Structure 1
């Protein structure tokens, strides 16, 4: 029995043993620059009055005026949404700590989130709404209505970048790339540049807005097999 085991061991040692050459892992990044085709604005109205009814009534009036303007400019109802509606007392405090705080009035507010899909009307829409009583402008962002095409192109560029890096590293190391062992996505990023301003900055000729471009980025990690040396 021992004799047979020795023969098997000698035979195994005599056979060529394949060498594991290793793996190469690289990260790739792809970026697509594209002009936005949609704006998202956060704006509304706030008003203080002696009575809660008067404060809320004035806010409702200004909010309705803004909704009418947007509807007239072609903004669809699905693109207009109330974000917050509030009514709070306004307190008056005395000079001394022992003085009792009293309610001197009320403040009402209505904040809306509006998507404008036609950027050509953005400046005039802001100007008209501010002129008709909108006095709470909390920001503007740009976006893509359908970011899927930009995302897919960024993925393609990320893979191409990873393959290019892998070929460069393999050449520099004097090895040959083998098959792709795995691909994993690191993530997709669609940053949205923001334009912040106060409502009082509106100009008679329309609020000037520069949309610029959006950068859609994708990252990917690819593991390559390294071929055995012949």
Structure 2
């Protein structure tokens, strides 16, 4: 009789434990669901949109590289000859209306020249290179600058490159266009999905299409005597586009 009472007590204890564990499990599930619901209702909802903007670049500056190369065995002679020619080129360029601040010396180098033969190394003389970068703002003068760079003794004409002086201003216009496009895109998405846009919480500029200007040709060495009668070329700068990409992040409800 006593043994049966003990077995009955164990059964009651086990059933009670099962019920308690079940209740605890049920409470835990409900608590987790409630907690998830709370987080869901209190976590900010966001949407991000990506768009691009463009701005047309109309070059306002032409960059020209010109130079004089002189060779010889007497340093004093080649320095005087080289400087005389370069000074004449610079003065003529200034007479065309190019300001002194737009003419910059970019290279002045004197090097030794040797012939390398089986019997040894033999000194040939010196080479003096002097180069300038010219910024031409009046495109009607570009051809004239190229012509005098040769006719006054220059024998090195570098690339002709078109660019803009204030690139930041152009980028700002493209960025403004990108943001406008992104806002319109966000409004379209919100209208189609039934969402309501609140405020912009982040603006990320994800990329700018590189613009390095564009050039015509590379450096060409020439005989000034042969080329002194060259015709002045007609120069067309054209235009180009720059692209900026942005991502806008909105709070929504």
TM tier relative to shorter chain: 0.7 to 0.9
Structure of higher CA gyration radius: 2
Alignment match of 1:210 (pick from 236, 246, 251): 236
What root-mean-square deviation, in Å, do the aligned CA atoms of Structure 1 and Structure 2 show? 2.9
- Count the aligned residue pairs: 215
**Map of 1:13-162 to 2, 5 A cutoff?**
17=38, 18=41, 20=43, 22-94=45-117, 96=118, 99-162=119-182
| 1-structure distance, mates of 2:177, 2:81 | 53
| 1-structure distance, mates of 2:182, 2:142 | 40
Compared CA separation, residues 203 and 122, structure 1 to 2 (3 A): farther
Corresponding position of 1:184? 204
Q: Which moved further from structure 2: 199-208 or 64-73?
A: 199-208
Deviation digits for residues 145-200 of structure 1, max 9, x if unmatched? 33444232211101012122323444454533332111123355543111124355
| 2-structure distance, mates of 1:190, 1:208 | 24
Is 1:141–1:192's contact at 8 Å kept on the other side of the alignment?
A: yes
Gaps of 5+ in 1: 1-5
| 1-structure distance, mates of 2:231, 2:164 | 27
Corresponding position of 1:3? none
In the TM superposition, residue 92 of structure 1 has moved relative to its aligned partner by: 1.0
Deviation digits for residues 57-84 of structure 1, max 9, x if unmatched? 2221221121011110111111111111
Compute the TM-score of the two structures, normalised by the length of structure 2.
0.74
Compared CA separation, residues 114 and 34, structure 1 to 2 (3 A): same
Gaps of 5+ in 2: 1-26
Is 1:155–1:218's contact at 8 Å kept on the other side of the alignment?
A: yes
Compute the TM-score of the two structures, normalised by the length of structure 1.
0.81
Compared CA separation, residues 55 and 160, structure 1 to 2 (3 A): same
| 2-structure distance, mates of 1:173, 1:52 | 79
Q: Which moved further from structure 2: 68-77 or 164-173?
A: 164-173
Q: Which moved further from structure 2: 63-72 or 216-225?
A: 216-225
Q: Which moved further from structure 2: 105-114 or 186-195?
A: 186-195
State the 4+ residue runs in structure 1 displaced beyond 4 angstroms.
Answer: 171-174, 199-203
